[in-house]
Structure formats: structure tokens, C-alpha cells
Amino acid sequence: MSRPDMPQGTEREGGRGKGEGAQPLPTRVTRVLRRIIGAPDYAAYVEHCRRAGRPPLSEREYLADCFERKGQVARCC
């Protein structure tokens, strides 16, 4: 099912993705919690855009986009 040479999960939650140095523990914990509750994480997004070589949205635009998408998702029963 999986190749032995593959990492078994992305390591970007810990801030070690794609050439990043290790992030401090509080930052990593905060990122994990944000991702679990589905909260916006602008710093992670900016890092992503920098790696991808794309200009990021402004923080306000990014937050507006995140909240817009959140409003379209039903919570389960």
C-alpha cells in the first residue's frame, strides 16, 4: 500500500516542510490546533505562497476567504 521510502505523513504541521527549519514547539502546537478546529493560519499560508512562488492574499482577504468557505460547510449531527 505504501512505499517504504515514503515519509508516512506530511511534516508541515510541525513546520518542517520543504526546507523549513524546525519551528518552536508553541508555534507547532498552535498550528496543529488551528488545523484541527479548521481555523485560519495566515503565517502558514504565507509560507506556502512563498514556497510556491505565488503572491499571497492580504491577511484580510485571506481571513474573508476562510470564513466564506467555513460558512458553506454543514456540521454533522
Partner 1 sequence: MLVWGGIAGLGAAAFGVLALYRGESINAAWLLTAALCTYAVCYRFYSRFLATRVFGLDDRRATPAERLDNGRDFVPTNRWVLFGHHFAAIAGPGPLVGPVLAAQFGFLPGPLWLVIGVVLGGAVQDFTILFCSLRRDGKSLGQMAKDEVNATGGMAGMLAVLFIIVILLAVVALVLVNALKASPWGLFTIACTIPIALLMGWWMKQWRPGSVGEASLAGAVLLVLALVGGGYVAGHPGLGGAFTQSGVSLTWMVIGYGFLASVLPVWMLLAPRDYLSTFLKITTILVLAVAILIVLPQLRMPALTVFTELGEGPVFAGKVFPFAFITIACGAISGFHSLVASGTTPKMIARESDARIIGYGAMLMESFVGVMAMIAACILDPGVYFAMNTTPAALAQASQLLQQAGFVVSPAAMQQLAARMGEQTLVARSGGAPSFAVGMAQIFSSLTQVLGGRAFEALWYHFAIMFEALFILTTIDAGTRVGRFMLQELLGHVWPRFGQTSWYPSVLLTSAGMAAGWGYFLYQGVTDPLGGVNSLWPLFGISNQLLGAVALSVGTTILIKMGRARFAWVTLAPLAWLVTVTMTAGWEKVFSPDPKLGFLAQAAALAGSAAPNAGRLIFNAHLDAGIALLFMGVVAVLVVTSVWEWWLVLSRRKPPVVHEAPYVETGYATGD
Pair 12, 18: CB distance under 8 Å: yes
Pair 23, 16: CB distance under 8 Å: yes
Pair 13, 35: CB distance under 8 Å: yes
- Candidate residues 5, 21, 53, 55; the one interacting with partner 1 per rule CB under 8 A: 5
- Candidate residues 21, 24, 55, 77; the one interacting with partner 1 per rule CB under 8 A: 77
Q: Which residues contact 33 (CB under 8 A, 6 or more apart)?
A: 39
Convert residues 32-51 into a mask of x (bound to partner 1 by CB under 8 A) and - (unbound).
xxxxxxxxxxx-xx--xx--
Using CB under 8 A, list all residues that contact partner 1.
1-3, 5-14, 17-18, 30, 32-42, 44-45, 48-49, 52, 56, 59-60, 62-63, 65-77
